[in-house]
Structure 1
């Protein structure tokens, strides 16, 4: 079995779509009047974004995040620098003891109100 899609409710579909297109390379597959979008990462994963139910407050746990693992530490640094240059608020690049060799990465809040992580194994 392969995980092939996720669906998240967000307060601002348009801003979240723009973020994933500009900064993470996702392509828009479908877009319906700022209420629903389907994004494709080009690697077999489809990401659905939709507005919450009327009157619903959308809130994710502070630990909830989507992870993007990249090839190496240089790619982490490059993505971090690109986001900073685009005036996106990002956390510091940190090393952790996760996995057999450790990892390096950072977290960033999306316009959709959830974190993403960009990391690489060391």
Structure 2
């Protein structure tokens, strides 16, 4: 079985779509009045964003995040610099002990009010 899509509720679909297109390379497949959008990563994964139900507030656990693994440490650092230059608040690049060799990466908050991780295995 292959994981092929995820659906998240966000406070601002349009801003979140723009963030994923600009910084993470996803392509917009459909956007219905900034209430429901479908993004494609080009590798068989679709990412759906939708506004919360009327009267509902979007809230994710502080540990909830989605991850983007890149080729190497240089790519992590390049993306970090790009986000900071655009005014996006991103945490410091850090080394993590996971797996046999560990990884390097950082976290930042999206306009949709959930974290993303950009990392590379070492």
TM-score by length of 2: 0.99
The match for 2:30 is 30
Alpha-carbon separation, structure 1, partners of 2:111 and 2:51: 12
Partner of 1:113: 113
Shift of 1:50: 0.2
Aligned-pair CA distance for 1:120: 0.4
* Deviation >6 Å, runs of 4+: none
- 1:27 deviates by 0.4
Question: Pairwise mapping of residues 62-77 of structure 1 onto structure 2 (< 5 A)?
Answer: 62-77=62-77
In the alignment, what sits opposite 2:84?
A: 84
- Matched length: 122
Question: Any unmatched runs of 5+ in structure 1?
Answer: none
Measure how far apart 1:9 and its partner are: 0.3
CA RMSD of aligned residues (A): 0.4
The Cα of 1:32 is off from its aligned counterpart by: 0.5
Unaligned runs of 5+ in 2: none
Q: Distance in 2 between matches of 1:44 and 1:76?
A: 23
